[in-house]
């Protein structure tokens, strides 16, 4: 279990949710987890840490930590870890552990942490894990057609993606170690794997038919290697920001620089909406990803909002 060193009266307020339980990806294990624990130790906190190898084990680790009494789970590393911790804390019906809190240390590799403007270096990140400040964030709930014919359901903290964005986001964890060439490789893989298809997008106030190259249903602003795809998304407004790309996947890729800075809107090939309920169906199957994690199945995809379901340490 995480332990807390003895401290003078009053310092207990630094840990109103208990000591952090750090769960990192394999890349963070090389240095960052050790450095983050060292920075926390300077504040008198001894935090337990675990490495998810592979990243898919993060959900199991998080659930075990919650069973042992941990209440501040910290995702250290990329969005696969953040997604697993969100899924441990929030289910399709709402919070699983109402008193638990999510901490985010993205290290420059996590889209969800970027939306909250959280620090990337371990020294400042450690300070943000202390104290009472919380943000009550919405969570997205997604339903789609599973490979065996039944309906699947899952939650996401950052975004649900369909088509080219889903292909790129799900490839990035395997190529991110290579930096910019790795991002380029993920984009090329996404282009090779995706074709545009006729689609119908239904929202609260009507529906549209068009040829879809990619879709992002965003609770946070960033995806696809920290691109600011949904610049007007707010994780506490009770709605999702819907970014629908028309045309071909190559059109999305060709505007990568604008996407990084959120300057791709307005544009004739980009549709932007705000909605509490989203349904999309496509003529051909497309890849689906939640928080950059590919899920088995195909559209139709339905998304709605679980308001203020996630407590985020800020």
Query: What's the pLDDT at 173?
Result: 85
Query: What's the pLDDT at 264?
Result: 96
Angle at 54 between CA 51 and CA 56, to 5 degrees: 100
- 3-132 and 139-308, same CATH topology: no
Class of domain 139-308: mainly beta
Query: What's the pLDDT at 217?
Result: 98
For the record, the structure tokens of 249 come out as 């996947």
For the record, the structure tokens of 184 come out as 């380029």
* Helix or strand run (H / E) with residue 27: none
One digit per residue, the tens of pLDDT, for the chain of length 314 reads 333 333 443 445 789 999 999 999 999 998 999 999 999 999 999 999 999 999 999 999 999 999 999 999 999 999 999 999 999 999 999 999 999 999 999 999 999 999 999 999 999 999 999 999 999 999 999 999 999 889 999 999 999 999 999 999 999 988 876 678 888 899 999 999 999 999 999 999 899 999 999 999 999 999 998 999 999 999 999 999 999 999 999 999 999 999 999 999 999 999 999 999 999 999 999 999 999 999 999 999 999 999 999 999 99
For the record, the structure tokens of 235 come out as 């994780």
Q: Which of 212, 225, 213 is nearest to 185 (CA)?
A: 225
Q: Could you tell me the CA-to-CA distances from 4 to 23, 46, 69, 72, 288 in Å, in that order?
A: 18, 6, 14, 13, 41
The answer to whether domain 3-132 has CATH 3.30.2320.50 is no
Query: What's the pLDDT at 8?
Result: 42
Q: Measure the CA–CA gap between 48 and 71, rounded to whole angstroms.
A: 12
Helix (H, G, I), strand (E, B) or coil at 257: helix
Query: What's the pLDDT at 6?
Result: 36
* Helix or strand run (H / E) with residue 20: none
Query: What's the pLDDT at 179?
Result: 78
Query: What's the pLDDT at 307?
Result: 98
Give the start-to-end residue ranges of the domains of the chain: 3-132, 139-308
Query: What's the pLDDT at 12?
Result: 57
For the record, the structure tokens of 26 come out as 């394999």
């Amino acid at each position: 279990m995480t332990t807390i060193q003895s401290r003078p009266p009053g310092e207990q307020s630094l840990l109103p949710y208990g000591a952090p339980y750090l769960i990192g990806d394999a890349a963070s294990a090389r240095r960052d987890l050790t450095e983050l624990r060292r920075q926390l130790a300077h504040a008198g906190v001894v935090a337990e840490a675990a490495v998810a190898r592979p990243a898919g084990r993060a959900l199991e680790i998080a659930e075990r930590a919650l069973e042992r009494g941990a209440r501040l789970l910290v995702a250290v590393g990329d969005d696969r870890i953040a997604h697993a911790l969100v899924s441990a804390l929030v289910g399709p019906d709402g919070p699983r552990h109402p008193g638990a809190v999510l901490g985010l240390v993205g290290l420059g590799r996590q889209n969800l942490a970027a939306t909250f403007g959280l620090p990337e270096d371990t020294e400042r990140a450690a300070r943000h894990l202390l104290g009472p400040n919380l943000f009550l964030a919405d969570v997205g709930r997604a339903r789609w057609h599973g490979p065996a014919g039944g309906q699947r359901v899952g939650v996401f903290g950052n975004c649900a993606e369909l088509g080219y964005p889903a292909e790129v986001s799900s490839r990035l964890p395997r190529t991110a170690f290579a930096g910019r060439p790795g991002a380029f490789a993920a984009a090329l893989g996404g282009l090779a794997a995706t074709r545009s298809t006729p689609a119908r997008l239904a929202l609260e106030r009507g529906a549209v038919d068009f040829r879809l190259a990619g879709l992002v249903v965003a609770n946070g602003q960033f995806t696809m290697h920290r691109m600011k795809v949904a610049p007007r998304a707010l994780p506490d407004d009770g709605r999702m920001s819907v970014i629908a790309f028309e045309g071909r996947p190559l059109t999305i890729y060709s505007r990568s620089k604008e996407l990084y800075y959120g300057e791709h809107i307005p544009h004739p090939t980009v549709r932007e909406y705000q909605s509490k309920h989203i349904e999309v169906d496509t003529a051909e199957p497309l890849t689906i990803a939640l928080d950059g994690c590919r899920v088995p199945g195909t559209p139709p995809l339905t998304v709605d909002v679980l308001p203020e379901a996630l407590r985020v340490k800020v």
